[in-house]
């Protein structure tokens, strides 16, 4: 029966078995999808996993022989195509796949034999179990060995051709590949080592030559690296190790000198931070190079003082612009560059103390300020009695003035709405509302806490 016809038969079996007990295993559903796509290799794996998880799946027991037959045919067809193209590696891998399938089938049959001996079931199910147990795994051991032999021979022959053409690294890889199929194989082990040595020797010779060319160009760093690579491929190759050390020292001295001279130039241009970095780089090539250690420290200190002065000046400017939060950060930066620089730490604390309260804090401060009552003028036309139990319902800022640095307070003009009790006479305390505009001063007390007091009252609108 052709593969296409068998696919139709398998799909028909799925349709006939659709009314049986529902199978929840995901692998069974995936196997059905793979069958519909004609991918029996995947269907075999998924069906096998489903049966190994639940050997009592009668639907899959009935379906599995057809999956196996189609999977075998697909795999063998692929092997034959690889043989036709003399791709012996893939042909061998194809037989490996069939051998693995055979082992899986054997494990499933063993589990099913144990299961069948313990259950009572219908004749149809017994027949399905018998069909699965009757599967005879195809014996491909001889074909697999033949493919392994031809794959090993092909790689061995390729290795010989590469070796003859002095492509020693490729030859090494091919002889190693022949051993991956048959080990030992002829003299492949010896050929691997021989061609590895010849390849390493060729690479060492190449890098040694590149190093000599770099010396002629006075590129001492490249020369040192090339000599080192030559010695890496063949330890002790000529005098590569000694020359690598020699030219590395020369290159280090050259790089240290260039960084040192760059540092002197940057220092003369008053780029102190970059100068300090250049002197430090000189030390990374040659420790204790000249007086680079002293100069790196000196110009790092000058750079720090320069940055401290710059941030301190920015802080003063921001104080004048009443950007107090920014000023505090600038003074902090100055202190970080030079500990104890001028009065930066005190200025930072002072600037932070001037940062105005946020809206939530402001409302809390205003509420505190009216605990003892509010002026009668806030109540519009009512001009007698005393106020108590004042509650601020809403607060909006009409205007926030400039910070008074001499007296250290923030001026606000606020619109306040709320309610209070008005004590007119004994047992006569009506609740009245107010809506007024009030000028406030917000300042810090002797303990550094914000306080708020109203200065005067303007009649609300």
Structural domain count of the chain? 3
74 within domain boundaries:
yes
pLDDT at 137: 85
Range of the domain at 197: 146-216
Average pLDDT score over residue span 444-457: 86
**Coil, strand or helix at 39:** coil
Residue pLDDT, tens place only, 364-418: 999 999 998 999 888 876 567 788 899 999 999 999 999 998 899 999 999 999 9
10 & 47 share domain: yes
Q: What is the pTM of this model?
A: 0.65
CA–CA distance, 38 with 99 (Å, rounded to integer): 21
39 & 14 share domain: yes
Count of CB atoms within 10 A of residue 187's CB?
A: 11
Would the CA dihedral through 133, 138, 141, 144 be positive or negative? negative
9 & 78 share domain: yes
Residue 17 pLDDT more than 60?
Answer: no
442 within domain boundaries:
yes
336 within domain boundaries:
no
Residue 1 pLDDT more than 50?
Answer: no
163 & 179 share domain: yes
pLDDT at 41: 94
Domain boundary among 216, 233, 254: 216
Residue pLDDT, tens place only, 229-277: 999 999 999 999 999 999 999 999 999 999 999 999 999 999 999 999 9
414 & 443 share domain: yes
Q: Which residues pair with 419 in a beta bridge?
A: 391, 433
**Mean predicted lDDT score pLDDT of the chain:** 91
Residue 2 pLDDT more than 50?
Answer: no
71 & 103 share domain: yes
Count of CB atoms within 10 A of residue 397's CB?
A: 12
Q: Torsions phi, psi of 391, nearest 5?
A: -125, 120
116 within domain boundaries:
yes
Residue pLDDT, tens place only, 190-239: 999 999 999 999 999 999 999 999 999 999 999 999 999 999 999 999 99
Residue 7 pLDDT more than 50?
Answer: no
Domain boundary among 170, 197, 216: 216
Would the CA dihedral through 245, 247, 248, 249 be positive or negative? positive
Domain boundary among 216, 238, 263: 216
> Which H or E run includes 409?
strand 409-423
pLDDT at 423: 82
206 & 133 share domain: no
pLDDT at 384: 75
């Amino acid at each position: 029966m052709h593969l296409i016809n068998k696919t139709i038969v398998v799909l028909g079996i799925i349709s006939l078995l659709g009314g049986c007990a529902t199978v929840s295993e995901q692998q069974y559903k995936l196997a059905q999808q793979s069958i519909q796509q004609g991918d029996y290799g995947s269907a075999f794996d998924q069906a096998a996993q489903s049966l190994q998880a639940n050997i009592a799946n009668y639907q899959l027991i009935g379906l599995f022989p057809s999956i196996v037959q189609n999977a075998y045919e697909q795999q063998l067809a692929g092997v034959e195509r690889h043989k036709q193209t003399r791709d012996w590696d893939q042909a061998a891998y194809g037989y490996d796949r069939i051998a693995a399938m055979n082992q899986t089938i054997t494990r499933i049959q063993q589990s099913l034999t144990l299961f069948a001996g313990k259950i009572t079931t219908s004749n149809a199910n017994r027949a399905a179990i018998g069909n699965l147990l009757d599967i005879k795994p195809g014996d491909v051991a001889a074909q697999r060995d033949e493919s392994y032999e031809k794959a090993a021979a092909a790689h061995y022959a390729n290795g010989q051709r590469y070796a003859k053409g002095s492509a020693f690294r490729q030859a090494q890889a091919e002889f190693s590949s022949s051993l991956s199929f048959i080990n030992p194989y002829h003299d492949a082990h010896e050929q691997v080592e021989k061609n590895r040595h010849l390849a390493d020797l060729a690479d060492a010779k190449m890098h040694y030559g590149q190093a000599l060319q770099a010396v002629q160009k006075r590129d001492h760093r490249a020369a040192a690296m090339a000599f080192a690579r030559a010695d890496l491929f063949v330890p002790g190759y000529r005098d590569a190790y000694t020359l690598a050390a020699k030219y590395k020292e020369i290159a280090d001295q050259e790089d240290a000198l260039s960084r040192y001279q760059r540092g002197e130039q940057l220092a003369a241009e008053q780029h102190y931070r970059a100068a300090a970095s250049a002197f430090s780089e000189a030390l990374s090539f040659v420790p204790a190079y000249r007086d680079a250690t002293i100069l790196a420290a000196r110009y790092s200190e000058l750079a720090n003082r320069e940055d401290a002065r710059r941030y301190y000046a920015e802080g003063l400017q921001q104080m004048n612009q009443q950007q107090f939060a920014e000023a505090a950060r600038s003074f902090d930066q100055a202190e970080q560059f030079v500990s104890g620089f001028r009065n930066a730490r005190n200025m930072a604390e002072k600037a932070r103390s001037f940062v105005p309260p946020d809206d939530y804090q402001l409302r809390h401060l205003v509420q505190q300020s009216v605990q003892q009552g509010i002026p009668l003028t806030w109540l519009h036309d009512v001009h007698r009695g005393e106020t108590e139990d004042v509650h601020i319902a809403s607060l909006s800022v009409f205007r926030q003035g400039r910070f008074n640095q001499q007296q250290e307070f923030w001026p606000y003009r606020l619109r306040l709405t709320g309610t209070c009790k008005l004590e007119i006479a004994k047992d006569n305390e009506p609740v009245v509302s107010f809506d007024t505009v009030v000028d406030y001063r917000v300042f810090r007390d002797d303990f550094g806490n914000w306080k708020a007091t109203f200065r005067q009252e303007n009649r609300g609108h």
